[in-house]
A and B are shown apart, each in its own frame.
Chain A
Amino acid sequence: KAGVTQTPRYLIKTRGQQVTLSCSPISGHRSVSWYQQTPGQGLQFLFEYFSETQRNKGNFPGRFSGRQFSNSRSEMNVSTLELGDSALYLCASSLWDRAPYEQYFGPGTRLTVT
């Protein structure tokens, strides 16, 4: 069974630009969550999607948004990039929609903002 895939793996953008990251969950998984990992703030929850609906959102500005498609694939978008958005963005998928089940993470997209 294929794992969680994320594209692209590496990305370099300039301040003020916008970026879209993609995540394909494990087949059959309907929940997709996004996390940001930085040396200073550690791993922080961005948002979670289930059945194309955002179910939960972390404390990030509105520049961070996401969506989920009917096939459970998810995208996250960051508009007006800032230097502080440089981070590893991790996507995780989970099987059920209820009690927290183990989340399986993808390899991440490393975003560098210059």
Chain B
Amino acid sequence: AQKVTQAQTEISVVEKEDVTLDCVYETRDTTYYLFWYKQPPSGELVFLIRRNSFDEQNEISGRYSWNFQKSTSSFNFTITASQVVDSAVYFCALSESIKAAGNKLTFGGGTRVLVKP
């Protein structure tokens, strides 16, 4: 069975500080996909990134960066120089790459990030 764990339930930082969100996953599949979503107070989940299990390259997109380490089953997310607009709940999610599994996402519990001015 798949499982995603986000050990940090809430992180509070002051603007311009960096913040790293941890994500640890469990799966028996050799092929799988990992995602990060942002949920602002409005409630809509916003897609941030998708990574497949064969691509361990780290990725940077503006102030966001992701560190995928298959050896430790982790897919961590860092916000550099945080801004108040980054305040949201962030979810890590996992999906199997089996045809029958379709598009089922297993989500972690989420990490609430509060960026104070």
Interface of A toward B, CB cutoff 8 Å: 31, 33, 35, 42-45, 48, 50, 55-56, 58, 88, 90, 92, 94, 97-108, 110
Contacts and interface: CB of A to CB of B under 8 A. Distances in A.
B70 interface: no
A5 to B, nearest CB: 11
Given A42-B109, A99-B52, A106-B44, 4 more contacts: A48-B102, A99-B33, A100-B95, A110-B43
Given A100-B97, A101-B50, A102-B35, A55 B102 contact: yes
Contact of A50 (B33, B35, B96, B102): B102
Majority SS of interface residues in chain B? mixed
Interface centre among B99, B100, B103 (most CB of A within 10 A): B103
A95 to B, nearest CB: 10
A31 B42 contact: no
Contacts of B109: 42
Nearest to B101: A56
Given A43-B91, A88-B43, A90-B45, A103 B102 contact: no
Contacts, number: 73
Nearest to B43: A108
Of the four ranges (under 10, 10 to 19, 20 to 34, 35 or more), the interface on chain B belongs to 20 to 34
Interface of B: 33, 35, 37, 42-47, 50, 52, 91, 95-97, 99-110
B67 to A, nearest CB: 19
Nearest to B52: A99
B33 A31 contact: no
Given A90-B45, A99-B33, A102-B35, A45 B50 contact: no
Contact of B103 (A31, A90, A107): A31
B102 A56 contact: yes
